[in-house]
Amino acid sequence: MQPVEFKDLPTLVGQEVGVSDWLEIDQDRVNTFADATGDHQWIHVDVARATREIGGPIAHGYLTLSLIPFLSHGLLHVTGVTHGINYGSDKVRFTNMVRVGKRVRLRQKLIGVEPKSGGIQIKNQCTIEIEGEERPACVAETISVLYGA
């Protein structure tokens, strides 16, 4: 998508603003996330047991959610922004598990723009897709506030 000016963001409401490249979810990423969060449940980090009992380890749902900022980087380039902040999320759902070794990508749609605290609040529908699977891994609405120059 071409860069859009800060003042023109409302014209994009309802449009898909981009699709990221694919990212492979490897066991090292899952283990690093487990160490960072203290969530060492065997379905994520015990490769032998997970393979034996559920067909292989799966990524944490919150790992999948946490990839949204990385995957969305560069999808919507807004000019005239001095800074932005994460404001929150709505309607986060984990609709499918991501098996280690699978690739995911983000599909992002701008669903709302409104004035907020001297800036504008934007809401995006973020869908994390799994390569080769019909159901996405995660669907979330993310909220940010952007401030213009």
Name the nearest CA neighbour of 60 among 19, 92, 89, 94: 94
Kindly tell me the burial class for residue 118, based on how many C-beta atoms sit within 10 Å of its own C-beta (0-12, 13-18, 19 or more).
exposed
CA distance 77 to 132: 28
Three-state SS string over 11-35 comes to: HHCCCEEEECCCEECCHHHHHHHHH
CATH of the domain at 91: 3.10.129.10
CA distance 96 to 86: 25
| Ranges 2-6, 8-12, 99-103, 134-138: which has the least confidence | 2-6
Note the pTM of the prediction, 2 decimals. 0.92
Strand (E) or helix (H) holding 60 = none
DSSP string spanning 94-143?
A: E-S--BTT-EEEEEEEEEEEEEETTEEEEEEEEEEEETT-SS-SEEEEEE
- pLDDT given at position 117: 85
Tens digits of per-residue pLDDT, 123-149? 999 999 999 999 999 999 999 999 987
Strand (E) or helix (H) holding 146 = strand 138-148
pLDDT at position 1 over 70: no
Tens digits of per-residue pLDDT, 49-89? 999 999 999 999 999 999 999 999 989 888 989 999 999 99
Q: What phi and psi values does residue 45 have, to the nearest 5 degrees? A: -115, -15
- pLDDT given at position 94: 98
Full domain range(s) for residue 90: 4-148
Strand, coil or helix: what is 3? coil
Number of structural domains (the chain) is 1
More confident of the two residues 27 and 77: 27
**Residue 6 banded pLDDT, cuts 50, 70, 90:** confident
